[in-house]
Amino acid sequence: MLAEVLDAAVRLVAIVAVFLVLPLVAGQMEHKVMAHMQGRLGPMYAGGFHGWAQLIADGVKFLQKEDVVPAAADRRVFALAPAVALVPYLVVLAVIPIGPGLVGADLDAGLFFVLAVMGVGVLGSIMAGWSSGNKYSLMGGMRSAAQLMSYELPLVLAASSVAMAAGTLSLPGIVAAWQWWWLPWQAVGGVVFFVAGLAELRRPPFDMPIAESEIIMGPMTEYTGIRFALFMLAEYAGIIVLSALTSVLFLGGWHGPLLPGPVWLLLKVFALVFVVIWVRVSFPRFREDQLQKLAWTGLVPLALLQLLLTGVVRVAAG
């Protein structure tokens, strides 16, 4: 019994450490990679060496800022929204396997659980948009809801293609069943999943709910201090979760030659984080109706084709 509790405690500590550290690494990476792609240096002062402590300094600043709740806001919902946006990404980390046997909890319905819990995160954004009592926030919230209509379905269909290929919904089971030839076999599904995931995270080019050049900061317009910081943390935790899920489902998770499994997963995750940043630097923002059109006439049919391909190959192969 004691051994079991200790084992669970170690897993929990590891998951929380990953949740608190990797989003900061991704954020700092975004600062630096974006800066260099745009011919700038990015943060250079905080912490001395290439501004490594910039985000920690930001965090300390946010912690000391006054907590302003606008008089027109719906106070309770306004206060709760950052938690609804942030906590699901922590919970999802529990089921992402980093090596054979190295997973917080091996759930039978792991893939289903992940999709369900990730879907909760967007509610935080809609809650914030509605409760702020601000026109920009309301528009941002409505755009978030519009985005939900577009990304959720391709995401779910692409993920179920992997479940079909592996014949299980357990994430460690999926990675254990993975073979190298799944890369070309599931490639279309992988791209659909990643693009839909970008839309879920409201990352550029799908950042129209936030769109700082037209609706200030969308749902986050009225937020300041620690609550705003938690929204930002949710965004970067989301990038980590999406990259980790894409790696686990489509890129073979811990599989790889020479290096140990968790290192391979970490490499794949940060390669995808790099792609997320690269896409942000390279593409202009879509309009909301353009995203819906892309999703319903592009991503959904592609995902259905992938399902067909997966099913036929699986049955033909026995």
Query: Binding to another protein (CB under 8 A): which residues in 139-198?
Result: 139, 142, 146, 148-150, 152-153, 156-157, 160, 163-164, 167-169
Q: Is 12 in the site for another protein (CB under 8 A)?
A: yes
Q: Which of 125, 134, 144, 247 binds another protein (CB under 8 A)?
A: 134
Identity of the residue, 277 or 291, whose beta carbon is nearer to another protein in the bound complex = 291
- Kindly tell me which residue out of 17, 68, 259, 267 binds another protein, with binding defined by CB under 8 A: 68
Is 99 in a helix, a strand, or coil?
Answer: strand
21 binds another protein (CB under 8 A): no
Round to whole Å and give the CA distance between 231 and 166. Answer: 35
Least distance (Å) between residue 99 CB and another protein: 17
Q: Closer CB to another protein, residue 51 or residue 209?
A: 209
Q: Pick from 29, 44, 87, 176 the residue near another protein by CB under 8 A.
A: 87
Among 2, 4, 39, 284, binds another protein (CB under 8 A): 4
* Residue closer to another protein (CB basis): 151 or 264: 151
Residue closer to another protein by CB (options 170, 243) is: 170
Cα–Cα dist 266/243, whole Å? 10
Q: Around Cβ 216, how many Cβ atoms within 10 Å?
A: 17
SS3 content of the chain, % helix, strand, coil (to 5): 75, 0, 25
The reply on whether position 26 binds another protein by CB under 8 A is no
Residue whose CB is less far from another protein, 285 or 314: 314
- Binding of residue 267 to another protein (CB under 8 A): no
Residues 6+ apart with CB under 8 A from 99: 254, 260, 261, 262, 265
Minimum CB–partner distance for residue 266 and another protein (Å): 20
Q: Contact 147/122 with Cβ under 8 angstroms? A: yes
Among 37, 105, 183, 187, binds another protein (CB under 8 A): 105
Considering only the stretches 128-136, 200-208, 257-265, 271-279, report the one whose residues sit in contact with another protein under the rule CB under 8 A. Answer: 128-136
The mark string for 280-309 relative to another protein (x by CB under 8 A, - otherwise) is --------xx--xx--xx--xx--x--xx-
* 257: number of Cβ within 10 Å: 5
List the one residue from 28, 125, 137, 186 that touches another protein (CB under 8 A).
137
Select from 141, 275, 276, 160 the least CA-distant residue to 216. 141
Shortest reach from residue 203's CB to another protein, in Å: 20
Site string for another protein, 219-258 (x = CB under 8 A): --xx--xx--xx----------------------------
Q: Which is nearer to another protein, 221 or 277 (CB)?
A: 221
The dihedral formed by the CA atoms of 191, 195, 201 and 202, expressed in degrees to the nearest 10: 170
Regarding 90 and contact with another protein (CB under 8 A), the answer is: yes
